[in-house]
Chains A and B, each alone.
Chain A
Amino acid sequence: MDAIILQILNGLDKGSAYALIALGLTLIFGTLGVVNFAHGALFMIGAFCAVTLSRILSASHEVLVEGKTDFLGNPLKEDVPYVYDWFGESAGAAIIDWSVPLSILFAIPVMILVGVIMERGLIKHFYKRPHADQILVTFGLAIVLQEVIKYYFGANPIPTAAPEAFKGSFDFGAMIGLDPNTIIYPYWRLIYFCFAAIVIGCVFAFLQFTTFGMVVRAGMADRETVGLLGIDIDKRFTIMFGIAAAVAGLAGVMYVPINPPNYHMGMDFLVLSFVVVVVGGMGSLGGAVLAGFLLGILESFASMREVIDLIPGINQVIIYLVAIIVLLTRPRGLMGRKGVMEE
């Protein structure tokens, strides 16, 4: 029992990342009909937003320390971050400590901007081109974005810590009435899951309960008619692209403490997220989220020692295996709609 719960919990954080990226991919595909291979790069850019903000916040200047000398006898200098000067020492330290959650506020406008520029500048010209061309041009864009990040941030992973309050683990087993010390779970992963759930909830609520969302949904169902009703659907779809980019970016920001970001993390996640989208059903938002969590949890179950002993190597291939089986038995994916991508 506890082992099962533990594996479900372990699968949740990766599953959350898959679900968020797959949600963004599906939003873009459902609205604009574009297969965006650069979506993993957006995830990565989000992660590097967090790195950038934490670097900006830690920017410091040298201050002479009165009455102290270093070992050479020169006056001792100390690096003091600018935020200490502006907000006082304790508040400044708190701001630096909380740089990753603060990056959310920084990343949302940046990512929406990146998304809108991408859509207006490049993808707009590819609506009428075949899907293969869309895949290829976004694939090229992904390479370019990845290399630009590599140029500025280097090839090595950059560790960026979570706030002090959320470091370490807690005893999840004891909380739900099991024996203590059976399920130890890091705080940040639980936060990541909750955060993902909130973001997903917000996106669905936005689409379901606002006029803007209603128009977008109508546009997804029948773009032409909505256009004929005098609504500038292109503009709204552009904004949806920005939102999808922001969702991927937020997934990246919060993933930073779990896995130090490097320039190719986007591509690593992209391949799996595409599998997730296809398993969930192209164009189905619910399917993307469901398949994201499902595959994340399946992956963590497959990494259990007992399972690996039974079928060696299963943890490496389980997602692809599931994708192949699903595609062959349910060609539209778990929740795919009829008539989407069935040429």
Chain B
Amino acid sequence: MLGLNKQDTTILLVVAALTIFAPFILNPFPVDSAMAQFNAGYPDLMQRFVIFGIFAIGFNILFGLTGYLSFGHAAFLGIGSYSAVWMFKLLSMNVIPAIILAVIMSGLFAVVIGYVSLRRSGIYFSILTLAFAMMMFALAYSVLTPITGGETGLQLALDDPRILGISATPEGNIPTPSLFGVEMRASTTVPVGAWEFTFNFGYYFCALIMLVAFYLSVRIFRSPFGLTLRAIKSNQQRLNYTGVNPKPYTLAAFVISGMYAGLAGALMASMDPLAGAERMFWTQSGEVVLMTILGGVGTLFGPVLGAGMIKYMENIISKINSDILHSWFAFLPDGLEDLIVAIIYPFIGKGWHLTLGLIFMLVVIFLPGGLVEGGQRVRSWMKNRGKSKEETSQTPAE
């Protein structure tokens, strides 16, 4: 289907099904139950799942295929957000021009930064991208305040021109981002028995774009271009000797992944029309690295999985507090209950970064291929166990 082989089609269909039915899958608990806080099916969080999914898919095209570890990818996220908000301010609240401009702008920046950074490889490349991103962060935060809004960030105002749209709604409010009149925040809530499912237009818009982005990345992975990128990762010298100049290929990969990041930034701004410099800070770049590694670098499905995992943990684990823990372990004797709560407490709530760091370390140490590799190992282990059981059951029969 769509020029994909059977296996890739399956992956694409699985991702499509997961995104389409996400409002159901992420809301497994009834509204009134004690577990309702683990429901992740609200629009804001689901939007972040897919947006960061796009970011991680793009990052994976660079890091997963070529092996160049960029520590400054958040710069493109920021550029995308800023461009999109400027489009909202100047042209109209339609998201299409905003997204187009964001992708073009981040692509242009990626060409310049990539051209310079890709002259070096290894750790030097990481440091160069980091230096560029931090430079842009510092400038956006201070000198470029007229363009970026500085510390407060870039926000919409009532007196923005919006040539093709309206400056203010008849009620005197700032209009919200929309797609040809349908507002991004439009959502309907459907109660089904004890459950409640929310369908949000913005989420489905982002999900559709993510599916397209995912499809493109599958095509890139399976194309001759993707194969060349893999060759760069495994042995650049040999590629040189065969007469292929790797530079244009790595630059193309860098620009593509920069444009993915810009797209993600534009979608972030479309869901919530403001852009701040902190989106360019290196911790944000670190986060996308974490997502990609956690899910499985170089795999198709991994980055999406990693992005979902980290955003889920960020929102859900950080919400747990000691009272909730006490209620969970209330069945235990008092002393034991307090002990267990005391042990778990540092890892939840504000301490969720600690959990993240530990999980990340464990993944890098034991599962360099990320969760996807973990899944494969479990599957092959199950298969082998099934086989050995058959063998053992056969032995006495002989």
Contacts from A to B (Cβ < 8 Å): 35, 122, 125, 129, 131-133, 135-137, 139-144, 146-148, 150-151, 267, 271, 274-275, 278, 282, 312-313, 316-317, 320-321, 323-324, 327-328, 331, 341, 343
Nearest-CB distance from A272 to chain B (Å)? 9
Tell me, yes or no, whether B374 is within 8 Å of chain A by CB. no
Question: Is A316 touching B139 in the complex (CB atoms < 8 A)?
Answer: yes
Residue of A nearest to B137 (CB): A316
Given A139-B286, A147-B357, A324-B128, CB of A343 within 8 Å of CB of B122: yes
Tell me, yes or no, whether B130 is within 8 Å of chain A by CB. yes
Tell me, yes or no, whether B213 is within 8 Å of chain A by CB. no
Tell me, yes or no, whether B36 is within 8 Å of chain A by CB. no
Question: Is B365 touching A274 in the complex (CB atoms < 8 A)?
Answer: no
Question: Is B69 touching A275 in the complex (CB atoms < 8 A)?
Answer: no
| Separation of A229 and B119 alpha carbons in the complex (Å) | 39
| Separation of A39 and B360 alpha carbons in the complex (Å) | 18
In the bound complex, residues from chain A placing their C-beta under 8 Å from that of B128 are 323-324, 327
Tell me, yes or no, whether B356 is within 8 Å of chain A by CB. yes
Pick 24 A–B contacts, CB within 8 A, sort by A.
Answer: A131-B122, A136-B293, A136-B360, A140-B360, A140-B364, A141-B361, A142-B357, A146-B353, A146-B357, A147-B351, A147-B353, A147-B357, A275-B127, A275-B131, A313-B138, A313-B139, A313-B144, A316-B141, A317-B139, A320-B135, A327-B120, A327-B128, A331-B124, A341-B123
Question: Is B121 touching A151 in the complex (CB atoms < 8 A)?
Answer: no
| Separation of A316 and B360 alpha carbons in the complex (Å) | 31
| Separation of A86 and B283 alpha carbons in the complex (Å) | 47
Nearest-CB distance from A254 to chain B (Å)? 26
Give the contacts of B12-48 with A (CB-CB under 8 A).
none
In the bound complex, residues from chain A placing their C-beta under 8 Å from that of B368 are 129, 133
Residue of B nearest to A137 (CB): B364
Contacts from B to A (Cβ < 8 Å): 67, 69, 116, 119-124, 126-128, 130-132, 134-135, 138-139, 141-144, 282-283, 286, 289, 293, 346, 351, 353-354, 356-358, 360-361, 364-365, 368
| Separation of A7 and B69 alpha carbons in the complex (Å) | 36
In the bound complex, residues from chain B placing their C-beta under 8 Å from that of A151 are 346, 351, 354
Question: Is A316 touching B361 in the complex (CB atoms < 8 A)?
Answer: no
B132, B141, B286, B361 — most chain A CB neighbours (10 Å)? B361
Nearest-CB distance from B314 to chain A (Å)? 13
Residue of B nearest to A29 (CB): B123
Q: What secondary structure prevails in chain A residues at the interface with B?
A: helix
Question: Is B138 touching A140 in the complex (CB atoms < 8 A)?
Answer: no
A141, A148, A316 — most chain B CB neighbours (10 Å)? A316
Question: Is B127 touching A274 in the complex (CB atoms < 8 A)?
Answer: yes
| Separation of A144 and B358 alpha carbons in the complex (Å) | 6
| Separation of A129 and B144 alpha carbons in the complex (Å) | 41
| Separation of A143 and B116 alpha carbons in the complex (Å) | 30
In the bound complex, residues from chain B placing their C-beta under 8 Å from that of A278 are 123-124, 127
Question: Is A271 touching B123 in the complex (CB atoms < 8 A)?
Answer: no
Partner of A35 from B123, B134, B365 at Cβ < 8 Å: B123
Question: Is B119 touching A328 in the complex (CB atoms < 8 A)?
Answer: yes
Nearest-CB distance from B278 to chain A (Å)? 13
In the bound complex, residues from chain A placing their C-beta under 8 Å from that of B365 are 122, 125, 137
B67, B124, B130, B282 — most chain A CB neighbours (10 Å)? B124
| Separation of A135 and B364 alpha carbons in the complex (Å) | 10
| Separation of A341 and B351 alpha carbons in the complex (Å) | 36
Nearest-CB distance from A147 to chain B (Å)? 4
Partner of A331 from B120, B126, B131 at Cβ < 8 Å: B120
In the bound complex, residues from chain A placing their C-beta under 8 Å from that of B67 are 132
